Amino acid sequence: MYTINYKPSFADLEIPQAMRERADVLFFKKGQIVYQEGSTPLGAYFVDSGQVKISMLGSLGKEKIVKIVTDSELLCFSDLFSHRRYSTSAQAMEETSLLFISKRDFWEVLNDRRDIFLSLLWRLSEQIKVVQETITDLAYKPVRGRLADAILNLNNKIKGKDLEYQSISLTRADLAGYVGTVKETVNRLLSELREEKIISTSGSRIVIRDMDKLIRISEMYN
């Protein structure tokens, strides 16, 4: 399912200076691990710049990408809220800077700022909704429709970096993990979309040439 909705973020709420003052700035190179699935959360990670891949391992050890996190987003705060080990892993997809806030400082700020606390609860409910929709799509939606969804949703996250056309950059393996299929299927479907002049590609870069047609493919299978 492809959706474009307004979602309140910390940027909208103007992060309290107290939170930034308590945070450590951490820099990660492309491919570096931020945290591993099964480890214990020590605090909250806030994306200051860059992109982070959130993934988990399936029963057969195959990576499934849950989402791509960009500017002004928190990483896996649901695990921090639930006082449990990380249910996913996080890895930098490019040079990325994160703000790390200890659990104690994070909760102190939330206790002082009811608006931010309520925003987090809203996000948590939205995450649950997205998970439910993803499960439904994996069960009933063909891979072609899921690939269109993935390209549209990823583009919606990082749009504005290309002035002429809207584009994303993601390895075929990562895109396959995001869609829930294998790399060979992604390559075949991307070739079809190129032939239909809906997209063009250059290496890992995917450029959307016909947004309307791509949206129609997504909505065709809803």
Could you give all domains of the chain from N- to C-terminal order, each with its CATH number? 10-137 (2.60.120.10), 142-220 (1.10.10.10)
CA-based R_g, the chain, Å: 18
State which amino acid sits at residue 221. Y
Three-state DSSP class for residue 5? coil
pLDDT for res 114: 83
pLDDT for res 222: 67
Measured CA to CA, the distance from residue 184 to residue 189 in angstroms comes to: 9
Residues of the chain predicted below pLDDT 50: 1-14, 160-164
pTM over 0.85: no
pLDDT for res 16: 56
Angle at 97 between CA 92 and CA 99, to 5 degrees: 115
pLDDT for res 199: 93
Q: CB-side exposure of 136: number of CA atoms within 13 Å?
A: 9
pLDDT for res 158: 60
**CA nearest to 85, candidates 39, 48, 44, 123:** 39
Measured CA to CA, the distance from residue 170 to residue 168 in angstroms comes to: 7
pLDDT for res 116: 78
Q: CB-side exposure of 197: number of CA atoms within 13 Å?
A: 0
